[in-house]
Amino acid sequence: MIQRLHHSAYRCRDSEETRRFYEDFLGLRLAGSLQISESKTGRQTAVRHTFYELDDGSYIAFFEDPETPFDFKPRRSVFVTLD
């Protein structure tokens, strides 16, 4: 049985823009940030990973990877408007 979630991570386009929203607007505490310059396989990278603390002690995390395109994929709506 899962007892606790440490963090859930999502990709973001801009770490500073994300920080302004989660810290300045929502009031979450920026608990930490780290720059990842090398992957576990030795590949050079420039990923920034940030963590915002929630009231239950878990975190919501974001990673910015400027080397990888950030494109939204087209989605179809699953909601139907009834008139």
24-75 residue pLDDT tens = 999 999 999 999 998 889 989 899 999 999 998 999 999 999 888 877 777 7
Is 72 contained in some domain?
A: no
Is 73 contained in some domain?
A: no
* Closest to 28 (Cα-Cα) out of 3, 77, 66, 62: 62
Q: What is the pLDDT of residue 40?
A: 87
* pLDDT above 80 for 21: yes
* pTM given for the model: 0.76
Is 32 contained in some domain?
A: yes
Is 74 contained in some domain?
A: no
Is 82 contained in some domain?
A: no
Cβ atoms of 68 and 47 within 8 Å: the answer is: no
* pLDDT above 60 for 83: no
Q: What is the pLDDT of residue 1?
A: 83
- Give the domain range for residue 42: 7-64
Domains contained in the chain, number: 1
Q: What is the pLDDT of residue 3?
A: 77
